[in-house]
Structure 1
Amino acid sequence: MAVQENTTLKAAYADKVAADLAENTAGQDRIRAEIETLQAQLTTLETDHTLLKSVSAALGDPTGGVPAPRRAARKTAAVAKKAAAEKTADAAAPKKAGAKKEAAKKTTTVAAKKTAATTDKAKAANTGADKGPALTELIHAHLSSQSEPVTAREIAKALADANPGRNVNDNLVRTTSERLVARGRADRIKQGSTVYYTAKADAAPAASEPAEKATAAAS
């Protein structure tokens, strides 16, 4: 009896660790996608800044009348953000069994949520305002309206067409779709190297979390 209980407990821990690792990986993908978006926005702003300085100089003001952007500080912030995400990934790997393993997983989850919240707040400050419902709800609604499984790219294109001006890309949609699968609100079907998603007919919307609201504002 004791052997059977130990085997069951071990299997339960293994399933929990696998689920946490999947959620952590999805979180890393989402943060990397957001960093890429922010980097693209920064590149655009820098290009505009250079153009505006040229125009200002042509008008007789060689300095442009404004201080130069603090490139070093921005680069340092981006490196620190990436390091924080990598540190979170390292902390997610279980190193000890029993209570220590469970405590480590809880610490990792809290750290990942704080990192995601910080990144989402920064992105929300750049975009300016909340632009609609959470991306998870948009994706679930789209999946529910489809009669056949669809890929993340197909979802992203449909949402981009239906929500002009909102930031929707393949990586962000894929990460959010995986979150729906983890919560039991969607199914994941893999055929060869292609992954398809479908909505579960009996899935009920989960309560919105602060991180999802920040993602909606950033999108």
Structure 2
Amino acid sequence: MPAQETLTSLKTAYADRVAADLADNTAEQDRIRAEIEHLQAQLDGLEADHALLKDMSAALGNTTAAVPQPRRGTKKAATTAAKKTAVKKAAPKMTTTKAGEDKGPSLTDLIHIHLTGQSEPRTAQEITRALAEAHPGRNVNVNLVRTTTERLVGRSRVERVKQGSTVYYTAQAAADSGDADAEKATAGVS
């Protein structure tokens, strides 16, 4: 092969590879932007819940409890905080939209209420399906339900049992009167 043909074929091969790498890079950027938007929406919800819980705590006269302030920082720190933040439940919370109208109980409360009413353990997929049918206006997906249900496991409000590769969830009985009072208040909301 003459040197000119070799140079042309190498140049074409490199150009094709660079074009493919650019397309992959653009697709990855789009995927990460979508993930950041999703995490930012979760962080916004957690911050709104935090403010509401602080107000409720103050209204209940609980001035002795130390209330941690949300972390502020760069977008990178904000997305990391969205992954690690867990809000302690002081009372049933109501979620609100940016316009301020009431959307009803939080997803955490909806999942716990649903599991409390079940006689058998449920998978995250089954919980998602039931909540999507009961609350068609809510954004409910299986990953969000699984994450929220795992948070309830961490709070000892839900029990997790793994059978093979399938994970089942069951509501725990209220351990103290604070949880029982919260459940009564939540039941009246739904």
Q: Using structure 1 for the length normalisation, give the TM-score.
A: 0.40
Bigger RCO (CA 8 Å, 6+ sep): 1
**Higher strand fraction: Structure 1 or Structure 2?**
2
Q: Using structure 2 for the length normalisation, give the TM-score.
A: 0.45
